Structure formats: C-alpha cells, structure tokens
Amino acid sequence: MNKILALFQEEEVRALLEHEVLPLYPEFTKIVSVAVKPYKRLVWETTYHVVISYRVVFLKTDGSEEKIQIICSAHSEEPRIQAYQVLRFLWDSGLSGNGVILPQPLFYSEYYQGFFYRAVEGNNLLHYIKENNREAVALNTERAAQILARLHALPLPDDTSIFSDNNRSLVSVVPGSEVVIREIRARFNGEYADDLASFYQRFITQEDNYFSTSNERWLIHGDAHPENFIAVGDNRIGMIDFTDFCPADFARDLGAFMQQIEYKIGNYLQDQDFAREMKRLFLEAYLKESGRDLDESLQSRIDLYYNFTTIRTAGFYLMKFNCDTAKAEVLIKKVKENFHNNFHAQN
C-alpha cells in the first residue's frame, strides 16, 4: 500500500499532528477532531502528488475549542523541503505584519516528503472577480501590489540554495521552452510551434541581455496571479504558493500579475476597460510602495514578462488534455499585435 494513503486517514493524521503540531501551541491541550479534505489526490502504486486540507479542532486550556486549517503538500518525486524552507525564511524575514499575513510553517516530514503549514483563510482575488465585486477587486489588487513591493525589498539570504534553480530565468521555467515547443510541434503537426519558438527566443534573449548588464536579483514570487493573494478580514492580505519563489528580476512578478488579472477579468466579466483600470491601479500602487520610477528599462521588462505570461497561458491551452486552440490563438494574436504596435502592459 502506498504510504501516502495514511495522510487521508483521520486517526493517522491525528497522531502525526499531536506529535508535531500540538507542542507548537501551548494554549492547546489536545486535538478534538480532524476533518480531512483532499484538494489534490494523485496516488499511484508507489508515487504520489497530494495536497490535503485538515480542519483541526483543538481544545484550549480554558476549555473552549479553536478550529484551524492545516495544509499538507507532498510529492514523492519532488520533495517539498524547498517550499518549507522558503516559507520559513519569509516567516522569519519580517514580511508578515502591517496588513500582510503569511501561512505559518509548521513542520517538514522526510517520511512523506511533504510540508505542513497553517493556512491563510479568506477569499482569493479571483473570487471577487468572479463575484463582480469591483470594490473588493480594486482594494485587493492594490494590496497585492503592496505585498509584492515589500517582498522585492527583502534582502536575499547568503545561502540561496533554498530557492528553486528551475525558475530563475525564462529559459529554465518549468517545463522549459524546448519541451513546450517540441510537444506542441508533435501534437499539432508543426502548427503554432514556429510562432512559439520565435516568441520564446525573443523573450529569453531580452532577459539575457538585461542580466548581462546587471548582477542584481530580487526575491520574487514567480507565480503572481489573483488566486495566490488572499483577502483576510477587512484590512489584511495574504500570499500563498511558495513553489516558484526564487532570485530573479522583480519585473517578472509585475508583468505576470498584470497579464493574469487582465485575463481573468476579461474571461469572467468581459470588461476590458475595468481590466485596464486594474492593471494601472496595480502598477501605480507598486511604484508608490516601492519608491521606484517607471523608466524605459523597467517598462521594457514589464512588457517582456507580460507577453511571456500571455504565451505561457497559450501554451497551457495547447498542451492540456482537452486542448483549446481557439483560446490559444487569441492569445498568440494578441502578442503579435503587442509587438507590432509597441503596446505596453498597462495599456
């Protein structure tokens, strides 16, 4: 039996959490119950990739009960130790506070090759887009910009080995441009592949040119999109998903977020004016919080990563099991028009 199946059993999980988590909370005396909810359950004979939520009820020293949500992310082939170390670094960095909340790292299990953390509970930005709650979308778009500016201001640790090597430049972003182009060429008998190869070469060359002139790197999220920013209460925002954190160009987070919020608003609300307004609000809030100026270099790099994220989304539609060529073609056409008309990401 695959060992990971134990993490779907309440009694097994209760014993594990009593041993690892209960000592972290002196105000708790015991675990009353554990409700198991799988988010991702890919389990084969000996391998696995799982994300599991546990709603844990603790008994407090005063006799009352408190419920918290604990998440486990585990992968048999890609141990989550780096994600745990990154979250530990961020938790200790001082990023949390002043309206920012982060998941609390709890422990890493060598046996399960997974890490456990206390979740940030609330609604993500995509939820408010779907609900057409424009006031909440604007408020949390601005807050997302502020938390990214604070992230980018963190000094890098002396040891950057805790961060993934696979995400530090566009040439190596998983699954890699060569893999994407090869699979699309084979799947569609050459159609789309030449366009994507040309795009990727342009993106990679532009990034390489910038990196050749600057050794400076910033800690970036690496996957900045509306689902990874969580509104907590009325005045706090959380950030989640630590798999792609790495030292790179901070402009990548800006271009990616602007493309994704535009795409999600367009997809769910069909309102390009509002999408443009949110892109501009995000960029203005970021520049204000960070104290940066939008000079020619930064604008060019934001545009680069905005277009890269657009093509990465197109690649997703072409490579998924039930491919959607119509959506991919719209995105490919958009990037061609952006190049031809020299459009900026916020326009």
Same domain (yes/no): 197, 327: yes
pLDDT in tens, 55-105: 999 999 999 999 999 999 999 998 889 889 999 999 999 898 888 999 999
- Which tokens go with 305? 């990563």
Same domain (yes/no): 222, 321: yes
> Is there a domain that residue 88 lies in?
no
Phi, psi of 86 (to 5 degrees): -65, -45
> Is there a domain that residue 27 lies in?
yes
pLDDT at 122: 93
Print the SS3 string covering the chain.
CCHHHHHHCHHHHHHHHHHHCHHHCCCEEEEEEEEEEEEEEEECCCCEEEEEEEEEEEEECCCCEEEEEEEEEEECCCCCHHHHHHHHHHHHHCCCECCEECCEEEEEECCCCEEEEECCCCEEHHHHHHCCCHHHHHHHHHHHHHHHHHHHCCCCCCCCCCCCCCCCCHHHCCCCHHHHHHHHHHHCCCCCHHHHHHHHHHHHHHHHHHHCCCCCCEEECCCCCHHHEEEECCCEEEECCCCCCEEECCHHHHHHHHHHHHHHHHHHHCCHHHHHHHHHHHHHHHHHHHCCCCCHHHHHHHHHHHHHHHHHHHHHHHHCCCCCHHHHHHHHHHHHHHHHHCCCCCC
Per-residue pLDDT at 24 exceeds 90 = yes
Same domain (yes/no): 108, 139: no
What CATH number should be reported for the domain holding residue 335?
3.90.1200.10
Structurally, how many domains does the chain consist of? 2
Lowest mean per-residue pLDDT among 78-82, 148-152, 298-302, 333-337: 78-82
Same domain (yes/no): 107, 137: no
> Is there a domain that residue 347 lies in?
no
> Is there a domain that residue 346 lies in?
no
pLDDT at 27: 95
Same domain (yes/no): 68, 184: no
Amino acid symbol at 105: P
Same domain (yes/no): 275, 157: yes
Q: Nearest Cα to 260, choosing from 286, 228, 287?
A: 228
Tell me what the pLDDT averaged over the chain comes to. Answer: 94
> Is there a domain that residue 335 lies in?
yes
Same domain (yes/no): 114, 188: no
Same domain (yes/no): 108, 163: no
pLDDT in tens, 243-270: 889 999 999 999 999 999 999 999 999 9
pLDDT at 165: 79
Please give the model's pTM, rounded to 2 decimal places.
0.91
pLDDT at 8: 97
pLDDT at 278: 98
pLDDT in tens, 129-183: 999 999 999 999 999 999 999 999 999 988 888 887 778 999 888 677 888 899 9
Per-residue pLDDT at 321 exceeds 90 = no
Per-residue pLDDT at 315 exceeds 80 = yes
Q: CA–CA distance from 323 to each of 144, 274, 320 (Å)? A: 31, 28, 5
Per-residue pLDDT at 239 exceeds 90 = yes
Q: Are strands 236-239 and 100-101 parallel, antiparallel or unpaired?
A: parallel
Same domain (yes/no): 172, 110: no
